[in-house]
Amino acid sequence: MKYLSYLLLTAILLLTSCEDKKNASEVKKETTTESKTTLEHKSTITKDTATVDTSETKEKKIGAGYPKITQENLVEFLTKYGKDNPETKVKIATRLGDIVIDLYEDTPLHRANFIYLVKQGYFNKTFFHRIVPNFIIQGGNSDLPSTNEKRFKLGDDYLIPAEINGRNHFKGSVSGAKEYRENPDKKSAPFEFFIFLGPQTSTGHLNGNYTVFGRVTEGMDVVNKIAALPSDEGDWPLQNVYIEAEVL
């Protein structure tokens, strides 16, 4: 009887010991899992925060290191900038494909202005905001607050002197847009451009009035796709066509 009692007591002690070890293992496992989840969460937060900070920093750099362009300093500024930045090729990426533009060297102010805006990131997140089938597509504007903010930083009160040079419009020509206000000197608005794709019979009021400063060398099929998109009564595409531009 005493021997049986001893065996029963030993069995109880062994079971208790095993249960304690099991519980300790489970607690350790749960604690480890929880710690790993917390670290991943912190890592994600840190990564997201870093991305936002980088974006904000990049946005603040627009126009940094250069004077704000005005009507008084634009010729001097663009002449010098053009000498320091002689590039003549730009790629415009859209959701419908890429458009490559070659800029003319005999329109130096327009070329320098366009290269400056591309390098400053102005055109990024603007739209092809006006489309007229069998005529033009126009880009460089948007209804986003960031567009006006960028214009303010770069210089929102200047027009580029005309550099018409006797060049007429043709399919794929790239020209400076004009403001609707009285503009007898035919100066170009600096932030918007249009690509002509209509027939030559539609160039009568364009030739001699708008500066042609480049031409499309690749992607006229993309220009045609954009021009064929549905638009509202104001010629604004029903679905925004975002622009991302880079110098090649």
Over the stretch 111-160, which tens digit does the pLDDT of each residue have?
A: 999 999 999 999 999 999 999 999 999 999 999 999 999 999 999 999 99
Q: So what's the pLDDT on residue 240?
A: 96
CA angle 161, 182, 205 (to 5 degrees): 75
Q: What is the pLDDT of residues 19-77, one digit of tens each?
A: 444 443 343 333 333 333 222 332 222 233 333 333 343 455 898 899 999 999 999 99
In angstroms, what CA-CA distances link 246 with 19, 114, 121, 179, 214?
A: 67, 11, 8, 25, 15
Read off the pLDDT band of 4 (50, 70, 90): very low
φ, ψ dihedrals at 34, nearest 5°: -65, -40
Decide if 140 contacts 123 (C-beta within 8 A).
yes
Average pLDDT over residues 221-243: 96
Q: Which residue has the higher pLDDT, 3 or 94?
A: 94
- pLDDT, tens digit, 9 for 90 and up, residues 96-116: 999 999 999 999 999 999 999
pLDDT at 114: 98
Superfamily of domain 74-247: Cyclophilin-like (2.40.100.10)
Q: What is the pLDDT of residue 191?
A: 98
Let me know if 2 is exposed, middle or buried by CB neighbors in 10 A (0-12, 13-18, 19+): exposed
On the question of pLDDT at 222 being above 60, the answer is yes
Q: Hey, where are the domains in the chain? A: 1-60, 74-247
Is this structure's pTM higher than 0.85?
no
pLDDT at 8 over 50: no
* Token pair for 223: 């220009």
What's the helix, strand, coil split of the chain in %, to 5? 40, 20, 35
